[in-house]
């Protein structure tokens, strides 16, 4: 069945460091891929998305490219800030053959130190 695997955390970085959070997926058909972010005490917010292969989603300096050949959707940011400290979830929305179900990774906690 469809699934998402993302790197375990926590990830601790200094401010202005480069960030990569790995995400790989297994899916039938052509899923849509998402990154969500959860700040302390809040619900999940959509960070970026990509709906087809080779699409690049971007928002707030974060980027991720939908790579069908490697079934990956890694999250990157060139220079993190303390305010980026949060939990990041990779997710996929399955195809119509799988009732468009959502699958979430386990989440990666990011701590950014000043």
Partner 1 sequence: KAGVTQTPRYLIKTRGQQVTLSCSPISGHRSVSWYQQTPGQGLQFLFEYFSETQRNKGNFPGRFSGRQFSNSRSEMNVSTLELGDSALYLCASSFGASANTGELFFGEGSRLTVL
Which one of the spans 17-25, 34-42, 58-66, 70-78 is the region binding partner 1 (CB under 8 A)?
A: 34-42
Residue 91 neighbours by CB under 8 Å, 6+ apart: 4, 33, 34, 35, 36, 102, 103, 104, 105
- Residues of span 45-64 touching partner 1 by CB under 8 A: 45-46, 49, 51
Closest CB 19 distance from partner 1, rounded Å? 20
Tokens of residue 93, six digits: 């929305």
Tokens of 88: 């990041």
For partner 1, give the closer residue by CB, 17 or 98. Answer: 98
Q: At its nearest, how many Å lie between partner 1 and the CB of residue 51? A: 5
Residue with smaller CB distance to partner 1, 79 or 100: 100
Fill in the per-residue mask, 85 to 114: x = in contact with partner 1 (CB under 8 A), - = not in contact: ----x---x--x--xxxx-xxxx-------
What are the angstrom distances between the C-alpha of 79 and each of 35, 67, 70, 82? 18, 23, 25, 10
How far, CA to CA in Å, does 98 sit from each of 27, 34, 63, 92, 102?
9, 17, 27, 11, 9
Residue numbers at the binding site for partner 1 (CB under 8 A): 32, 34, 36, 42-46, 49, 51, 89, 93, 96, 99-102, 104-107
């Amino acid at each position: 069945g469809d699934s998402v695997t993302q790197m375990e955390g926590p990830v601790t970085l200094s401010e202005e460091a480069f960030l990569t959070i790995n995400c790989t997926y297994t899916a039938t058909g052509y899923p849509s891929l998402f990154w969500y972010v959860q700040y302390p005490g809040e619900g999940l917010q959509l960070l970026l998305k990509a709906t087809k292969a080779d699409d690049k989603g971007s928002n707030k300096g974060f980027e991720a490219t939908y790579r069908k050949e490697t079934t990956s959707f890694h999250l990157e940011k060139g220079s993190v800030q303390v305010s980026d400290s949060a939990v990041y979830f990779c997710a996929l929305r399955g195809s119509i053959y799988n009732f468009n179900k959502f699958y979430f990774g386990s989440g990666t906690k990011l701590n950014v130190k000043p």
